[in-house]
Chains A and B, each alone.
Chain A
């Protein structure tokens, strides 16, 4: 059974870089035709796609965040990570990782999510 779990600091200072890791169990992140995504949800608000990593290592990023984000995979630990630089209070959100059926497809399953607060 495929499961994903986010981990990382719950508090990040403004202007610093947010770093989160998603640990995947039940499948290899390099399995052919598997994609892996990050989605966030500010408190009380809706969902926003951040970006997706393909099994080949190719990435697709939300154009509105592209200048500040990077996503990469660690096959030895079967994890993929998100870095978001120059954070502000607007980046405070619950961050979810999920398997992405394809860059144009659906997210399933999702991790439980981790709250990241940007504050000094």
Chain B
């Protein structure tokens, strides 16, 4: 059971916009930054979004992050087949004194 809650799966067709939610609580998302990672099949995770809504250089602007209260979202617009991957949210948890991850969302491009 993960501290941060994500839907196990999401899907969309090419060109569509999809969003993935990440629900937490006051000690984690409510008080700290949210990070998003993309894990393509068979590879290591890659940083996608940092500090709630910042994109590292090289990440397309099709990817965007937002946070409101104790929840966060990752939006992917103009969906492409190469976006098919697992997506994880993460945050620091003040109560646990540690980094916590969501359970991950498997995105399928139909």
Chain A residues within CB distance 8 Å of chain B:
37, 39, 46-49, 52, 60-63, 96, 101, 103-113
Contact = CB atoms under 8 A, between A and B. Distances in A.
16 contacts: A46-B104, A47-B45, A60-B97, A61-B98, A62-B98, A62-B99, A96-B44, A104-B99, A105-B92, A106-B35, A106-B90, A108-B47, A108-B56, A110-B45, A110-B46, A112-B44
A107 to B, nearest CB: 7
Interface of B: 2, 32-33, 35, 37, 43-47, 50-51, 56, 88, 90, 92, 96-104
B58 to A, nearest CB: 11
A65 to B, nearest CB: 9
A46 B45 contact: no
A95 B101 CA distance: 15
A107 B45 contact: yes
